[in-house]
Copies of this chain bind each other. A is one copy, B any other.
């Protein structure tokens, strides 16, 4: 299941992408519009800032805003930051690879075989989907 963190993060990004003017939007506004706990959203946006796609400004007139065009924001980065590894087992993870401690041979492991396929197909979706695709 997708975590609420990811769900809210995606909704917030889409909300920001939909704004006409690229002025900063306060967390409170996003939280209210998208029906998200403000404090929770606070930490989510902070996490998302780490992608480099999101900028923030303090003080009056401050808030969050997109740095890049939605079409330049692929879901791969967003999902990795919010949800963690795209792979369902660490032994097929590109960015978070780890050997399974109980697995004697990766090449002959049935779980490895299946999860490799699943990862590839998910990765293809995330790579070919940008924030712009989610706006319409």
Chain A residues proximal to chain B, CB less than 8 Å: 1-2, 7, 10-11, 13-14, 35, 75, 85, 88-89, 102, 108-111, 113-115, 117-118, 121-122, 124-126, 129, 133-136
CB-based contact B102/A35 at 8 Å: yes
Q: How many copies of this protein are present in the complex?
A: 2
Closest to A120 in B: B125
- Residues on B with C-beta less than 8 A from A126 are 118
**Nearest Cβ on chain B to A94's Cβ, whole angstroms:** 15
Say whether, besides A35-B102, A88-B1, A102-B35, A118 and B114 are in contact (CB < 8 Å). Answer: no
Closest to A86 in B: B118
**Nearest Cβ on chain B to A99's Cβ, whole angstroms:** 14
Q: Which of B14, B89, B111, B114 contacts A110 (CB 8 A)?
A: B14
CB-based contact A11/B114 at 8 Å: no
Report, nearest first, the 9 A-B pairs whose CB atoms are least far apart: A110-B134, A14-B110, A121-B121, A2-B88, A117-B125, A121-B125, A10-B111, A113-B134, A2-B89
A to B CB contacts below 8 Å, 14 in the list: A1-B89, A7-B89, A10-B110, A11-B111, A13-B110, A14-B110, A110-B135, A114-B129, A117-B129, A118-B122, A118-B126, A121-B121, A121-B125, A122-B122
